[in-house]
Chain A
Amino acid sequence: MDPEILEDWDRRLRGLLVAVCLLFAVLFLRLFHLQITTAADYAKESEDNRIAQRRVKAPRGLIVDRDDEVLARNRASYSISLIRGSTEDDARSVAALEEAIGEPVSYSRRSASVRLKRDVDFQTVALVEERLRGDGFPLHVDIEPQRDYPYGELTAHIIGYMGELREEEAASATGRYLLGDYVGKTGLEKVYEDSLRGVDGVSYVEMDARLRIKDEHPFPDREQAPIPGHDLRLTLDLDIQRAAAQAMPDTLAGSVVAIDARTGAVLAMVSHPSFDPNVFVSYRAQDERRQIVQDSHRPLLNRAVSGLYPPGSTLKLVGAVAALEAGITDTLSTFEACAGSLQVGDVVFRCNNRDGHGELNLLDATASSCNIYFNHLALILGIETWHEYGRRFGFGISTGIDLDPEEQPGLLPDRQYHIEREGWVTGHLMNLVIGQGYMLVTPLQVARYAAALGNGGVLVTPHFYGEAPPTQQIEGVSPETWETVRLGMHRVVYGENGTGRRARVAGIEVAGKSGTAQGPRTNDDAWFVAFAPYDDPQIAVAVVVEDGGGGGATAAPVAGAVIRAYLEDQARRQQAVSAETLQTPEPGS
């Protein structure tokens, strides 16, 4: 070639080489940045890609009754997740699953693995594992523990249930919970969440991009074992609980509470109607859950601690104690004879016996539940003294049971309360002293009141778990007063005109008080409170049956059934103990 041309080409070669080197310099600098300057960041990202930190759920503690009968346990549940790909791939997988199981699936693109369906049955698991995965859909099945309540309705209000953590709750519970976790929502599951829960562990797993596991334990040293949650052994006795539930009339709402009269340990707590808590932990039972929530009989309400009732005549013993202490009456003295009614101001108050009880002393007035006697007594007593004694018995304040925060304090109205509304007239006190008017109590408060009446004024704190909280002695009441009131309650059950004769139980002496309260319902609410044995009260019971009519007729047999169950349970216990003693060889023999 022409030397001039060759020279030109050489010049242009240099020009092109400069351009090529500039381009390669860009690549070189970028590579240097990636592989030298920021290599550590990418090494970390590469590890994050293939290493998944897995939470090893701590097994939740069991809840058992005092005889170790299991009331809440864990079972395996299967959920189906999707490993995310492109939007179109995801939509195809979701559609395939929907078609296979014939149900809609909710789905949102939020994280790399999306949980599509929780708590599915074995059939669905098999379907996903064998068919859909075989067809190449990136679905997989996870096993997660789910709560199970073997006694369902029987213990629903006590144990409560678990539910999915809500978004706002997850945000406030820093680090401990993840969205979608189950936490105790009501009852003891909620109150003892922290100790039941335990501490989750951590493990690592190496996976490829399709989430196929390549190494189950790539970092054995970094793993942490979970710390299981504590088991709760309750004070509850399932036999007594069952007896109480069975004794309640099937068709009527109401509540039964039985506590240890000495310690406040709750032996039974029934709220009727009940519900199946398993419906709330299962993902399959959406419809049933809605039904329960919308049920007009309000089965979710724990009537024992949140049901508010006028206590009716069961409350008369507050007046009795106050009057005895004030010296207004004693065992033998009587007021004006009961003629069936009494006019106070403009209002005529009637007795439950329209013909009148005639002349009665305190014991007979208690046994026959004469309203007029207690009206006379209250006229002398006055609202302030009566209210003070009501307060000492713990009315109008929560008992502090470890079933917070569902507990209601009830209402113990004083003079001020009435003044703020329609003004004070003595007639209000006529209502309050017989447990009517604005007075509202919970069955639990009444059970504690019954215990205090039986055990000489010891106010216990009802509880389900742990050491018994300290008790409190009701002050300013003499032993003689307690004894008189106890005697009156004994006559309710064993007296000739006693209203609570149907609470009698063979083999144990029962004392009690009936009540028939006018509430918002068509019929009266039937009440009965009791303690037994009479000489050394161990159990105190409160029963309320909404719409039940007369307390002596409807509620007293329920209390009797509970006490009978307690007696039988005690007998079994003693047998077990003596059997054990017989088997133990005498030392040195």
Chain B
Amino acid sequence: MKRELDLSLLVAVGMTIIFGITMIYSAASGSTLWRSQAIYAFLAVAAAVAIVYVPDKLFYDLTYALYAFGLLTLLAVLAFGTGEPARWLSLTPGGSLRIQPSEFAKITTVMALARFLGDRSSEQVVSPRAIIGAVVISMIPIALVSRQPDLGTAVSFGAPLIPMLYWAGMRPLHIFFLVAPLLSVVCSFEPLWQDQAPIVFALYIIVSSVVIQLLLARLWVTLSMLAVNLSAGLVTVYLWANFLLAYQKARVLTLLDPERDPLGTGWNIIQSRIAIGSGGPTGKGFLQGTQTKYEFLPAAHTDFIFSVIGEELGFMGAVFVLALFLFLIWRALYIGTMANSRFASLLAVGLGSILTFHVFVNVGMTIGVMPVTGLPLPFLSYGGSSLMTNALAVGLLLHIYAHRHEY
């Protein structure tokens, strides 16, 4: 059976991966990491293309089983995980081959969400039962991953939820209802506003209540919104004061002010910012980044690969990478509009959301607008698990594209 491949997506992904291998060569110069990444890349692209030829119905049918399997691997990490903190599963004794199950579980969670929402019509999606179901599907892996603990990855499980709910039929106002408690958390977050926190929070509560009352004119909705917002804010204050681990607090605080501990937690952010800033418009040249080659930049070939690009290739290189990602994201969402089912369409959008979230959080981290979370940059950061997962996502997108005319 002849299948039509989405060449533009495949070429863009191939370019990104080759670009990544090149930058890994610079970031970890003297090592052969770039070669292992090239091998992973070959396997990953092969796997992606292979997925295209899987029968269309199979994914839909296996979705919940895969989701359950994903949860099992996460449980296994909690029980037998290796690494510090434990995020890995060794496949061989001694751990020479190991995987990061949380990466694969992201895909299966998006699939489960896509099926759960896809099985319901746009009207049904808005019902509390559907929303609660979707939230539960996301929350189970989040709960398991945050036990590792891996805050960044945990949050990334939640990232596709809102775009997918929106895609499945929710209106912006509904989205606002969902997001309101999150905004409440942000507005009551003391380190962000310091002394102004009570004022910001009060202002948010008043404005949101007034807007909802004016739009819907239903007092019980407004009052319950108010109650939810208030409790979200108060819980935030309580958790911040009593519950967060010291290293998590430090990360958040250092994001807000990296100079707090320039040689400790703030080091990564400061050095990354220096690397990117000193790259200037055109960069210091390939293999010429002093922040990179003199090891000022930590984790240069993994989490901070974007900083290497920024330093050596400058604003041009950085914008080129952003443009590549923007194309990939657009392509994923666009494939979503061509899908042959609600399930496939939602899956494409979910995968595009994960990509968007990873790019924004990782790049944002390197330039100091997001906290240091340890999320890799898709296709560019060194690492087999991440590359495999992203290739899997691309494979699914290629699959959706190839099967778009099969009803």
B68-103 contact mask (Cβ, 8 Å, vs A): 1 or 0: 000000000000000000000000000000000000
B336 within 8 A of A: yes
List the one stretch of B20-28, B207-215, B313-321 in contact with chain A. Answer: B313-321
Q: Mark A2-39, 1 if CB is under 8 A from B, else 0.
A: 00011011101101110111011011101110111011
- Identify which of A6, A49, A84, A87 contacts B296 (C-beta below 8 A): A49
At the interface, yes or no: A208 with Cβ under 8 Å from chain B? yes
B330/A31 in contact, CB under 8 A:
no
Q: Which of B39-47, B105-113, B142-150, B274-282 contacts A (4 or more CB under 8 A)?
A: B274-282
Q: How far is the CB of A35 from chain B (nearest CB, A)?
A: 4
Supposing A27-B322, A46-B275 touch, asked if A210 and B281 sit within 8 A by C-beta, the answer is no
Chain B, residue nearest A1 (CB): B340
**Given the complex of chains A and B, what is the CA–CA distance between A15 and B169 in angstroms?**
12
Of B163, B274, B339, the most chain A CB neighbours within 10 A belong to: B274
**CB of B34 within 8 Å of the partner chain:** no
Q: Which residues of A contact B278 (CB under 8 A)?
A: 39, 42-43, 45-46
Q: How many residues of B contact A (CB 8 A)?
A: 53
Closest-CB distance, B158 to chain A (whole angstroms): 16
Contact A84 B263 (CB under 8 A): yes
Identify whether the interface residues of A are mostly helix, strand, loop, or mixed. helix
Q: Which residues of B contact A87 (CB under 8 A)?
A: 264
Q: In the complex the two chains form, is B345's CB within 8 Å of A9's CB?
A: yes
Q: How far is the CA of A210 from the CA of B341 in the complex (A)?
A: 56
Asked whether A38 lies within 8 Å of B322 as measured between CB atoms, the reply is no
Which residues of the partner chain B approach A210 to less than 8 Å between Cβ atoms? 295
Q: Is the CB of A30 within 8 A of B336?
A: no
Q: Give the docked Cα–Cα distance between A24 and B330 (Å).
A: 12
The answer to whether A36 touches B315, judged by C-beta atoms less than 8 angstroms apart, is: yes
Check A49 against B291 for contact (C-beta < 8 Å): yes
CA distance A85 to B367 in the complex (A): 22
For the complex, is B337 an interface residue (Cβ under 8 Å from A)?
Answer: yes
Collect the chain A residues with CB atoms within 8 Å of residue B340's CB.
1
Give the complex CA separation of A295 and B367 in angstroms. Answer: 62
A6: B residues at CB distance < 8 A: 337
Q: Are A207 and B280 in contact (CB under 8 A)?
A: no
Residue pair B315, A35 in contact (C-beta under 8 Å): yes
Is there a chain A Cβ closer than 8 Å to B273's Cβ?
A: yes
Interface core residue of A24, A87, A112 (most chain B CB under 10 Å): A24
Contact B319 A12 (CB under 8 A): no
Partner of A86, one of B263, B273, B291, B345: B263
Bound Cα distance from A8 to B336, whole angstroms: 12
Given A27-B322, A34-B367, the answer on whether A43 and B329 have CB atoms closer than 8 Å is no
Cβ-defined contact, A42 with B274, below 8 A: yes
Smallest Cβ distance from B85 to chain A, in angstroms? Answer: 16
Taken together as a complex, chains A and B put the C-alpha atoms of A265 and B339 apart, in Å, by 105
- Chain B residues near A13 (CB, 8 Å)? 333-334, 336-337
| Smallest beta-carbon distance A528→chain B, Å | 66
Q: Which residues of A contact B296 (CB under 8 A)?
A: 49-50, 208-209
A573 / chain B contacts, CB cutoff of 8 Å: none
**B166, A34: Cβ atoms closer than 8 Å:** no
A20 contact from B291, B329, B342, B364, Cβ within 8 A = B329
**A41 located at the interface, meaning its Cβ lies under 8 Å from any Cβ of chain B in the complex:** yes
Q: Is the Cβ of A28 less than 8 Å from the Cβ of B277? A: no
Tell me which residues across on chain B come within 8 A of A32, comparing CB atoms: 315
With an 8 A cutoff between CB atoms, is B9 at the interface?
no
| B59 interface contact, C-beta 8 A | no
Nearest to B364 among chain A residues (CB) is A27
Q: A214 an interface residue at 8 Å Cβ cutoff?
A: yes
B54 on interface, CB distance cutoff 8 Å: no
Closest to B349 in A: A16
From B167, B263, B330, B341, A17 is in contact (CB under 8 Å) with B330
Residues of A within 8 A of B369 (CB): 26-27, 30
Is B295 touching A208 in the complex (CB atoms < 8 A)? yes
Q: What is the bound-complex CA distance between A86 and B322, given in angstroms?
A: 33
Chain A hits for B345, CB < 8 A: 9
**A16-B163, A16-B166, A28-B322 given; A43·B294 CB < 8 A:** no
B363 at interface by CB-CB < 8 Å: yes
Given A16-B349, A26-B369, A210-B295; A41-B277 close (CB under 8 Å): yes
Contact A23 B277 (CB under 8 A): no
Min CB distance A33 to B, Å, is 9
Which B residues are in CB contact (< 8 Å) with A36?
280-281, 315
* A16, A23, A34, A208: the one within 8 Å of B273 (CB): A34
User: Given A13-B334, A209-B296, A31 and B274 touching (CB < 8 A)?
Assistant: no
Residue of B nearest to A27 (CB): B363
Contact assessment for B277 and A34 in the assembled complex, using a CB-CB cutoff below 8 Å: yes
Q: Is B248 an interface residue (CB 8 A)?
A: no
Given the contacts A16-B166, A34-B276, A45-B278, A208 and B294 also touching, CB distance less than 8 Å: yes
Closest chain-A Cβ to B330's Cβ sits at a distance in Å of 7
Contact with A along B256-282 (1 / 0, CB 8 A): 000000011000000101111111110
Q: Does B19 have its Cβ within 8 Å of any Cβ on chain A?
A: no
B384 sits at the interface (CB 8 A): no
What's the Cα separation between A10 and B338 when bound, in Å?
10
Q: Are A35 and B318 in contact (CB under 8 A)?
A: yes
In the bound complex, CA of A298 to CA of B231 (Å)? 75
Question: Does residue B64 face the partner (Cβ distance < 8 Å to A)?
Answer: no
- Asked if B280 and A35 make an inter-chain contact with CB atoms under 8 angstroms apart, the answer reads yes
Q: Are A35 and B295 in contact (CB under 8 A)?
A: no
- The residues of B that contact A84 with a CB separation of less than 8 Å are 263
**Are B333 and A16 in contact (CB-based, < 8 A)?**
yes
Residues of A within 8 A of B390 (CB): none
Q: Residue among B263, B325, B330, B360 with the most chain A CB within 10 A?
A: B263
CB within 8 Å of A: which of B193-243? none
Contact A16 B167 (CB under 8 A): yes
- CB neighbours (8 Å) of B329 from chain A are 20
Q: Which of B275, B318, B356 contacts A23 (CB 8 A)?
A: B356
Q: Which residues of A contact B352 (CB under 8 A)?
A: 16
B333 touches A209 (CB 8 A): no
Cβ 8 A contact of A50, one of B290, B310, B315, B322: B290
Choose from B163, B172, B364 the contact partner of A26 (Cβ within 8 Å): B364
B277 pairs with A38, CB closer than 8 A: yes
Per-position contact with A for B275-310: 1 when CB-CB < 8 Å, else 0? 111111100000000110111100000000000001
* Interface pairs (15), CB distance under 8 Å: A1-B339, A1-B407, A6-B337, A16-B352, A20-B326, A23-B356, A27-B367, A30-B364, A31-B319, A35-B315, A36-B280, A43-B277, A46-B274, A46-B290, A209-B296
Known contacts A24-B325, A31-B319, A209-B295, then 20 further A-B pairs from the complex at CB < 8 Å, ordered by chain A residue: A1-B340, A8-B122, A16-B352, A20-B330, A24-B322, A26-B360, A31-B315, A32-B315, A35-B280, A35-B310, A36-B315, A39-B277, A39-B278, A42-B277, A45-B274, A46-B277, A49-B294, A87-B264, A208-B295, A208-B296
Give B residues with C-beta under 8 Å from A: 122, 163, 166-167, 169, 172, 263-264, 271, 273-281, 290-291, 293-296, 310, 314-315, 318-319, 322, 325-326, 329-330, 333-334, 336-337, 339-342, 345, 349, 352, 356, 360, 363-364, 367-369, 407
7 A-B pairs with least C-beta separation: A42-B277, A46-B278, A208-B294, A35-B315, A39-B280, A209-B295, A34-B277
